[in-house]
């Protein structure tokens, strides 16, 4: 989804305030007016001067240089020369993040999947100070919201995406849309803006990749992920095995464990384990063992016997030679 350019300023009547939306059951969950989570006028938007032609309409290519203004510019430590500033109105709503610039009479509605990163950012701090009226140095810091925007689809190459860095400095106050005055007073404007964008972004998750869709078919609801044991001569319909989820038996089950695999000695359970092992855990066999072990089974061959077999194999095999044999070491 790509941003949409707007040429007229949005109106508050185009939205439903968050407090009003939460106080009543909506008539429909599809369509209707977007829910307004945050609104402020006179906010400051900054982008790097090198990204002026990035396609963000509120910073047109023919925009006269407009550096950041005070009081935030005082604590930028000379980096204000690399930034451009525009005054904007903010409309954080459930459909998109809308920015409108009265100076250029233009704005942009940014889909939330295009916001690849957003975080609060401190401007100034211990290294930024300004002189007060008495001549003393006073530490100043301001909070802003930093975002990275992906304004083009970039084609099929992930490296061709162009990221625009946008910093928004909210005004000192905004429209109260929550109805909670205590919470509004406790949070900073940057925190309110960050929370509003986070909540709206959660309503628009990133679209799933095609590879994920293919893999989801194996685990989707209704997929044939059952385990079926076939056995018994009578056939019949699959019967669910008690105590197991998604495990069925076809014939001969009778609600018990499924028939054992062909050639095995049957199932060893807590009820019949004594028929196969003694108290010390040694194998003792027992009824139900399919077939007897052949001659020599369970016996360990001595070294001389193993060497005789190896020599016999060497004489009978035409491919063996004395050069291919390793010397015997003690």
Positive or negative: CA dihedral 69, 190, 94, 83:
positive
Structural domains in the chain (count): 1
pLDDT band (50, 70, 90) for residue 107: very high
Per the domain annotation, does 117 fall within a domain? yes
pLDDT band (50, 70, 90) for residue 281: confident
Per the domain annotation, does 122 fall within a domain? yes
Neighbours of 56 (CB within 10 A): 21
pLDDT band (50, 70, 90) for residue 68: confident
Per the domain annotation, does 128 fall within a domain? yes
Per the domain annotation, does 262 fall within a domain? no
Rounded to two decimals, the pTM is 0.58
Q: Which residue range(s) make up the domain with 104?
A: 4-204
Bridge partners, 150 (sequence order): 163
Per the domain annotation, does 174 fall within a domain? yes
Per the domain annotation, does 175 fall within a domain? yes
Using alpha carbons, select from 256, 55, 249, 70 the residue that is nearest to residue 153: 55
Neighbours of 3 (CB within 10 A): 22
pLDDT band (50, 70, 90) for residue 324: low
* Greater model confidence, 164 or 324: 164
Overall average pLDDT of the 175-196 stretch: 76
pLDDT band (50, 70, 90) for residue 132: very low
Per the domain annotation, does 194 fall within a domain? yes
Per the domain annotation, does 251 fall within a domain? no
Mean of the per-residue pLDDT values of the chain = 74
CA 138 to chain centre: 43
Could you please report the per-residue DSSP string of 259-318? PPPTTS-----TTTGGGTB-TTS-B---TT--S---TTTTPPPPHHHHHHHHHHHHHH-T
CATH code: domain of residue 117:
2.30.29.30
The pLDDT, as a whole number, for residue 39 is 93
The pLDDT, as a whole number, for residue 131 is 46
C-beta of residue 51 within 8 angstroms of C-beta of residue 166? no
Model pLDDT for residues 204-243, shown as the tens digit of each residue: 887 665 555 555 554 455 555 555 555 544 555 666 666 5
């Amino acid at each position: 989804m790509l941003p949409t350019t707007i040429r007229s300023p949005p109106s508050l009547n185009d939205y439903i305030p968050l407090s009003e939306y939460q106080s009543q059951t909506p008539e429909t969950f599809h369509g209707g007016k977007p829910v307004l989570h945050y609104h402020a006028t006179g906010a400051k938007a900054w982008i790097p001067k090198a990204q002026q032609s990035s396609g963000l309409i509120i910073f047109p290519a023919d925009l006269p240089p407009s550096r950041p203004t005070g009081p935030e510019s005082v604590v930028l430590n000379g980096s204000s020369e690399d930034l451009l500033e525009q005054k904007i109105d903010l409309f954080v709503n459930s459909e998109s993040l809308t920015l409108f610039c009265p100076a250029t009479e233009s704005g942009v509605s940014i889909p939330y999947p295009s916001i690849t990163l957003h975080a609060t950012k401190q401007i100034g701090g211990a290294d930024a100070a300004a002189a007060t009226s008495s001549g003393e140095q006073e530490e100043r810091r301001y909070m802003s919201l930093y975002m990275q925007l992906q304004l083009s689809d970039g084609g099929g190459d992930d490296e061709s995406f162009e990221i625009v860095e946008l910093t928004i400095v909210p005004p000192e106050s905004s429209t109260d849309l929550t109805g909670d005055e205590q919470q509004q007073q406790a949070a900073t404007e940057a925190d309110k803006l960050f929370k509003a964008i986070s909540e709206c972004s959660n309503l628009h998750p990133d679209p799933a990749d095609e590879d994920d869709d293919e893999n989801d078919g194996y685990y989707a609801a209704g997929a044939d992920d059952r385990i079926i044991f076939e056995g018994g001569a009578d056939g019949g319909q699959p019967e669910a095995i008690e105590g197991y989820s998604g495990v069925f038996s076809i014939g001969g089950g009778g609600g018990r464990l499924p028939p054992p695999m062909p050639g095995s000695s049957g199932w060893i359970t807590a009820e019949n384990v004594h028929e196969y092992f003694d108290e010390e855990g040694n194998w003792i066999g027992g009824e139900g063992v399919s077939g007897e072990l052949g001659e020599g089974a369970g016996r360990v061959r001595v070294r001389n016997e193993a060497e005789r077999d190896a020599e016999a194999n060497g004489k009978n095999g035409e491919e063996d030679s004395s050069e291919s044999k390793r010397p015997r070491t003690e």
